[in-house]
Amino acid sequence: MTSDETPARSTEPTGIDTTKAHGARVYNYLLGGQANFEVDREAAERAYAAWPGGIDAVRADVREHRAAQGRVVRYLVGGAGITQFLDIGSGLPQGDSVHEVALREVPDARVVYVDRDPVVLAHANELLRGTPEGLVRYVYGDLRDPQLILREAAKTLDFSQPAAVLLFGILHFFGDADDPVGLVGQLMAPLAPGSCLALTHLASDLHSEELSETFNRLNSAMAESVTLRSRAEVAAFLGGLDLVEPGVTQASHWRPAPGTAVPESQMWCGLGRKAS
């Protein structure tokens, strides 16, 4: 797709809500981006003041989360031989997006991005600028409808071959009543043997008190509320898959580059593979 084409989408986005903070925009603010509104900045400043080290510590953690995503994508290409990616809850373009990392490793990698935030859609052209035609596509969709996502993604990805589903920083926007484990199961069910699921999730059992206060504050200001989960609950998303070493760890501890300092992280990270 070229930069002046309308990105492919499955449904039309609704209007942009500036009365409440939204996850994609708060995350963009934390990463120093410009695609956010006063309501997002205020919510982030107020909530993350409760965090030890304040918002600067959270920003470092978010950058670490992006770095972990890069390591996972490089592992998927180099270690698991995957060249097709379905990145759901892709967020705003922040540099070193999945397609940038994957295309550096394999020039014919294919990536489908999915997000339900209309601001993300508005920046899709920026995300896709300069990408080889047909290899990277954007779908406006909601993880609550996995069948629609799979149908749209199948226009770009060949699901008879292994693919990787990436769910980075999205599943904590689902309460247990939404049955996120069931939704993930529906996504993975039709994928070919050798396919992978990689995810990160905000932790309830790391720094639990500080996280609870931060997210109580954020939840009162956000359109979508956050549910923190324990390591065991996060591992349940990967049930039925072969867990790749080092298992479910803090995102910063997931295969860090040798010789680098490994900071603490507030996110669990794990990667599972469908048996061949």
Ligand X SMILES: C[S@@+](CC[C@H](N)C(=O)[O-])C[C@H]1O[C@@H](n2cnc3c(N)ncnc32)[C@H](O)[C@@H]1O
Main-chain phi, psi angles of 253, to 5 degrees: -95, 0
Binding to ligand X by residue 142, rule CB under 6 A?
yes
When binding is defined by CB under 6 A, the residue of 40, 61, 64, 115 that contacts ligand X is: 115
Q: Which stretch binds ligand X (CB under 6 A): 74-82, 85-93, 214-222, 230-238?
A: 85-93
Cα(46)–Cα(56) distance, rounded to whole angstroms? 13
- Closer residue to ligand X (CB): 144 or 155: 144
- Cα first-last separation, the chain: 33
Rounded least distance, CB 42 to ligand X, Å: 18
Min dist CB 107 to ligand X, Å, is 23
112, 124, 143, 184: which one binds ligand X (CB under 6 A): 143
Q: For residue 246, say if its preceding peptide bond is cis, omega within 30 degrees of 0.
A: yes
Q: Is 66 in the site for ligand X (CB under 6 A)?
A: yes
Query: In the set 40, 117, 152, 233, which binds ligand X (CB under 6 A)?
Result: 117
Question: Closest CB to ligand X among 146 and 272?
Answer: 146
Chain positions 19 to 58 lying near ligand X, rule: CB under 6 A, are 23-24, 27
CB of 266 to ligand X, least distance (A): 12
Q: Binding of ligand X at residue 170 (CB under 6 A)? A: yes
Closer CB to ligand X, 143 or 238, in the complex? 143
Least distance (Å) between residue 169 CB and ligand X: 3
Contact yes or no for 191/82 (Cβ under 8 A): no
Rg (alpha carbons) of the chain, rounded to whole number: 17
Tokens matching residue 11: 């449904």
Q: Which of 75, 85, 91, 152 binds ligand X (CB under 6 A)?
A: 91
Residue 144 touches ligand X, criterion: CB under 6 A: yes
Least distance (Å) between residue 168 CB and ligand X: 3
Residue 160 CB, shortest distance to ligand X, in Å, is 25
- By CB under 6 A, is residue 90 in contact with ligand X? yes
Interface with ligand X (CB under 6 A), residue from 7, 93, 169, 180: 169
Q: Judged by CB, which is closer to ligand X: 172, or 274?
A: 172
Interacting residues with ligand X (CB under 6 A): 23-24, 27, 65-66, 69, 88-91, 114-117, 120, 142-144, 168-170, 173
